Chain A
Amino acid sequence: MTGVNSFSVSGYGPERAGWTRLFARDSLTRRLDWPILLASLALSLMGSLLVYSATRNRTELNQGDPYFFLLRHLMNLGIGVALMIGTLCLGHRALRNIVPVLYGLSVLLALVVLTPLGATINGQRNWLVIGGFSIQPAEFLKVTIILGMAMMLAARVDAGDKLYPDHRTVAQSLGLAAVPCLILLLMPDLGSMLAMVAIVLGVLLASGASNRWVFGLLVAGAVGCLAIWQLHILDEYQLNRFAAFANPDLDPAGVGYNTNQARIAIGSGGLMGAGLFHGSQTTGQFVPEQQTDFVFTVAGEELGFVGAGLIIFLLGVVLWRACRIARDSTELYGTIVAAGIVAWFAFQSFENIGMTLGIMPVTGLPLPFVSYGGSSMFAVWMAVGLLQSIRVQRPMSA
């Protein structure tokens, strides 16, 4: 904690000694957004239990060690927390300077995925396997695109030149976002691509860009969807897979099966659930990808409405506080970053939980904090670090 402490030294008021400094009125610990931190930690720890429950019997995945995924999840969490602290220490303002580098790096990583170095898992070429670790560059793209767009859009405004970003800046920032989106389409990683669109929308809204841009983007998206549907760009089976969340009969062996089993798992949980490690759907491994994309079904079955509701509530806490941070930020840059993170978390949570509940199409998006997966865990904790940084670096207003 020395690093953090040293950071707080920059502050105000007389020097205090030892631990009292930690809890001083203007100390970093007092300025941190604890609800976000605690809710994120709670979600991650709950996630580790759920991941453990889902994987302790999957011998073909856990290499005979029932704790394999639990330990990896906790390790990811540890790294994630460290990344958060690092981000916090560095500060989002300092990061602003190296955004181009980060952006370039993440785009490069994503491009490498498209080369033979990338690995295809579950039909999606969105993995990069380096020395036994598999990385999903798409997760990091989400962070860098937020930072990149925020930097461009906020530059003139924060400098006081303009009240709102002008059209040229908006167009440039959209171009910045379009490159990784295109890469994601090539993978193809439809889920991340949609998350990206949500992020771009959130960022544009928060930047104060003209309404024309926002609506233009929405209309363009709608026209694009319609074109894909009407011009038969996708094969019928692809459309069926997409629509199977509503009607599992369209793809009974694939997505329909997932949706159906997920719904059975969650539905059978009832109010209190079957009890941790006692869900028959989970123990019987009826839900595919249960430790990652369908981790919410474990909560639904074993913890019931109470436990699954708690997850939604905790996500709500994170999002609510993040919105507050966006609104309280004194500079547009922080506002945009926070709003982008809100859009990202909100969309991904809604999409992930929604698909397990059968109200959203099935796409491969992890549930923030809860799903197993290193890249996602690192990215969301980095985002938490950014939020904390925005929060602690604003002047104390209260």
Chain B
Amino acid sequence: MTNIPETGRTPRVQIRLVVIQILVLSLLGTLGGRLWYLQIREGAEYAKEASGNHVQQVVEPAVRGSILDARGVPLADNETRLVVSASRTDLLKQKDDGKAVLTKLAGVLGMDPKEVMLKVRLCDAETPQPCWNGSPYQPIPITDEATPKQALQIRERSEDFPGITAEPEAVRRYASPGKSNTAQVLGYLSPVTDEEIQQAKDTDSPYLRSDQVGRSGLERQYDKQLRGKAGVTRYEVDNLGRVIGQAEADPAQPGANLVTSIDARVQRVAEYELNQAMKKAREQFDKITGTNYKADSGAVVVMEARTGRIVAMASAPTYDPNVWVGGISAKDYAKLTGKDSDYPLLNRAIQGQAAPGSTFKVVSTAAAVEAGYDFDGRYPCTSSYSVGGQVFNNFEGESFGPIPLGRALEVSCDTVFYGLAHNEWKKDGGINPKKGQPKDFFFKAAHQFGLGRETGVDLPNEVTGRVPDRQWKEDYWKANKDAWCRTGKKDGDYVEKIAYENCLEGNKMRAGDEINYSIGQGDTLVTPIQEAVIYGALANGGTMHAPTVGKAVISADGKHITEIKPKVTGRLPISQATLKGMDEALAGVVTRGTAAWKFQGWPQDQIELHAKTGTAEVYGKQTTSWLATYSKDYTVIMTIAQAGTGSGASGEAVRNIYSAMYGVQPDGSIDTRKALLPTPQKGLPKVRPDGTVASPKISKDPAKDLLEMQKAAEDGATASPDGTQPGATTPTPTAGNRDTRRRPRRRGSRRTPR
């Protein structure tokens, strides 16, 4: 059958056909190779990508846990509000980027259109608040105070408001029970940023786009516990987001409740009294500066002495924590953080630091005993003490003759401590210490008392204060000597002279430095919380605690209770005998010492109070007042900047706080029924399985109750032994402004580093 000749193909065509065949095969081979590469070699990678592709998460935010006071009264909880939000992605789709819609919305809400626009812009490095620092894909809340009518208006005309939603949402509420404010302790929330989401991505508590994060205070410290776990439902979806696959659901776990040791009533009283004390101080005339006291800031800490639990903590000036809820406005933000603000966001109880003044003398006393001086020995309390031609005066030139250390504490005799410190300075080798370590008892004691480091309170951003020891002087000199040497003049004005001296020997411990230091003046800085730890330890026999605000974390259904145990951080370097002596001396401060004029009529035999007053000098400003006190159960520390003396500025306020807690009437009797907290709160409040909390009723304003009680007593025709005027019966008459130190020509006032 092959007799028909093959005419169709010449060799050229034949070769070309083979070439085509080879080409075709190699093309198919290429496809096979590429297929192998994608499916076998890289298959796992693509499989992962595919699963990320088709799974959508629907997030149901967890309800944030409440912050409760020691008895269960909510300090921070949640309420349902009508939140109007704008979707940025929807707005940007509109021709004018949603400007018209936002303007219309502002009209409905009765807001300024400009403010609404500012609220929906995104935060970046250069954009000031208000701006949105959450995810750009998340609805941005415009207001959470929409009325039902406004919400209806928006919803019914949804075609007029593309991208705008009005939904009820659980938002944080700072309840202010009994008018207590607690702002800085509670802190505030703001939306999570992209960076935080990235950072927390692989941790065990990743953030969700919709999360609010605690930014300060307890909200930040206990953020993880309070936040709970958002419910995530995973749907398999198609490319249009339609659900096609089975849902896999993780139900939301509401955040746990934080029980604090704060007592809302005491908190209110403390806040009120701090505010009153500052107001009163502003009415007082300061002889040194020739104006009234400015009393521009202050703090008060009420702490359980035996556990370190904070019962109340207030900082002035303060603010309303509810301004943060639903996004803060430009005006409010400027008021809180602007240059002209008085920085109300600072919690001055843990972030304010000042020289401790005479409240520091408990440290110096302990140091002296440690160095070998007998507590009951006799030390000269002269009217002045001179070192190398420089004269250090006792307050108003008083002299008490040779007195024991306890008495020196009681009357706050400076010269006793000058002498001791100078002695030790000389023993350590003077300006050029001996080879080997100088003993530095006075500085060592300060460190042992926990100064110069954080107390470990469960609040963020605590500051350390400062102990101006040799190491610090060296570091500080290195950092500043260039400036000092440039501006210092041998016979210039005060500042120039100081700079000149510092340039020459600022790295050395001079006699004057140590002498100043021994009475808490100079470069020493402490925080109110550090003082609370020290005086709390004096009250409880020497144990220092890391102060705690949180007392327990209770799950939302009340089933799981994690107690936050008091944490012991150390012991005071004082023997029990010395402690007893100091305890007695500090009680003496109340009965016959520097604070006596404010505590007349106090039932000292039933509720023994101990106190130490302090007045610290600040270069260029009025003196800082300190009043550190303790009873058997509590320690109360109050400090007010630019307010004069400790007893003068805070005596009454601190006394009122004790009165409220113990129920002490103006006449000195004790009415236990009116006592707010005669003994520290023991048990924990009960959280019911449905999440509600059994909390007692709280008076509208405990501070007013106290005021009324006092007024009633006055009207009751009994004599008014209120400690505003020194009575004739003061056991040991001492000058009222015991601790005010006139400005001597001293070195070592606080320098302002350049």
Contacts and interface: CB of A to CB of B under 8 A. Distances in A.
A323 B27 CA distance: 14
Contacts of B50: 264-265, 267-268, 280-281, 301
B35 to A, nearest CB: 6
Nearest to A211: B12
B494 interface: no
Interface string A119-135: 00000000000000000
B577 interface: no
A332 B8 contact: yes
Contact of A346 (B19, B27, B51): B27
Given A202-B20, A271-B43, A331 B7 contact: yes
B605 interface: no
Interface of B: 1-10, 12-14, 16-21, 23-25, 27-28, 30-32, 34-36, 38-40, 42-47, 49-51, 53-54, 236-240, 244-245
B47 A270 contact: yes
Given A300-B38, A316-B28, A320-B21, 7 more contacts: A268-B50, A280-B54, A280-B236, A280-B245, A323-B24, A346-B24, A395-B1
B2 A300 contact: no
A205 B43 contact: no
Q: Identify whether the interface residues of A are mostly helix, strand, loop, or mixed.
A: helix
A285 B20 contact: no
Given A206-B17, A342-B24, A284 B237 contact: yes
5 contacts: A158-B8, A206-B13, A305-B36, A350-B28, A395-B1
A216 interface: no
Given A316-B25, A323-B20, A160 B7 contact: yes
A206 B16 contact: yes
A305 B35 contact: yes
A313 B27 CA distance: 12
A343 B244 CA distance: 42
A335 B7 CA distance: 11
Contacts of B30: 350, 354, 359
Interface string A199-210: 000100111100
Contact of A286 (B4, B25, B35, B53): B53
B46 A266 contact: yes
Max chain B CB contacts within 10 Å: which of A267, A286, A309, A330? A267
Max chain A CB contacts within 10 Å: which of B9, B35, B239? B35
A270 B18 CA distance: 34
A267 B53 CA distance: 13
Nearest to A202: B20
Contacts of B21: 320, 323, 327, 342
Contacts of A213: none
Interface string A72-89: 000000000000000000
Contacts of B45: 267
Given A397-B1, A397-B2, A205 B19 contact: yes
A339 B238 contact: no
Interface in A342-360: 342-343, 346, 349-350, 353-354, 357-359
Given A264-B46, A350-B27, A286 B239 contact: yes
Contacts of B12: 164, 208
A19 to B, nearest CB: 23
Nearest to A323: B21
Given A268-B49, A330-B8, A342 B236 contact: no
Contacts of A284: 53-54, 236-239, 244
Contact of A267 (B10, B20, B23, B47): B47
Given A300-B39, A309-B35, A335-B9, A342 B47 contact: no
B92 to A, nearest CB: 15
Contacts of B14: 327
Interface residues of A, number: 62
A297 to B, nearest CB: 11
A330 B50 CA distance: 52
Given A266-B38, A396-B1, A164 B10 contact: yes
A377 interface: no
Nearest to A322: B24
B35 A266 contact: yes
A342 B43 CA distance: 32
A270 B39 contact: yes
Interface in A179-206: 202, 205-206
A309 B254 CA distance: 52
Given A335-B17, A397-B2, A264 B35 contact: no
Contacts of B238: 57, 283-286
Interface string A242-277: 000000000000000000010111111111000000
Given A208-B12, A315-B28, A359-B30, A281 B53 contact: yes
B240 A285 contact: yes
A145 interface: no
Contacts of A283: 238, 244-245
Contacts of A397: 1-2
B612 to A, nearest CB: 70
Top 5 A-B pairs, shortest CB-CB distance: A267-B46, A268-B50, A284-B238, A323-B21, A331-B8
Contacts of B4: 330, 395
A335 B36 CA distance: 34
B268 to A, nearest CB: 58
Contacts of B236: 280, 284
Nearest to B22: A323
A57 B35 CA distance: 26
A136 B30 CA distance: 29
A312 interface: yes
A163 B9 CA distance: 9
Contacts of B6: 330
Nearest to A260: B49
B240 to A, nearest CB: 7
Contacts of B240: 285
A300 B31 CA distance: 12
Given A267-B39, A357-B35, A334 B54 contact: no
Contact of A326 (B1, B17, B25, B38): B17
A58 B8 CA distance: 50
Given A164-B12, A305-B39, A397-B2, A264 B24 contact: no
Given A206-B13, A268-B46, A269-B43, A319 B8 contact: no
Contacts of B49: 264, 267-268
Interface string A23-49: 000000000000000000000000000
A309 B40 CA distance: 12
A384 interface: no
B44 to A, nearest CB: 8
B503 to A, nearest CB: 61
Contacts of A353: 31, 35
A22 B53 CA distance: 55
A329 interface: yes
B724 to A, nearest CB: 76
A50 interface: no
Interface in A282-335: 283-286, 300-301, 304-305, 308-309, 312, 315-316, 319-320, 323, 326-327, 329-335
B46 A271 contact: no
A269 B39 contact: yes
Given A57-B244, A346-B27, A395-B2, A270 B10 contact: no
Given A205-B16, A263-B46, A281 B1 contact: no
A331 B53 CA distance: 55
Contacts of A333: 8
B54 A350 contact: no
Contacts of B239: 261, 284-286
Contacts of B3: 395
A234 B694 CA distance: 75
A396 to B, nearest CB: 5
A300 B46 CA distance: 12
B84 to A, nearest CB: 31
A312 B32 contact: yes
A50 to B, nearest CB: 15
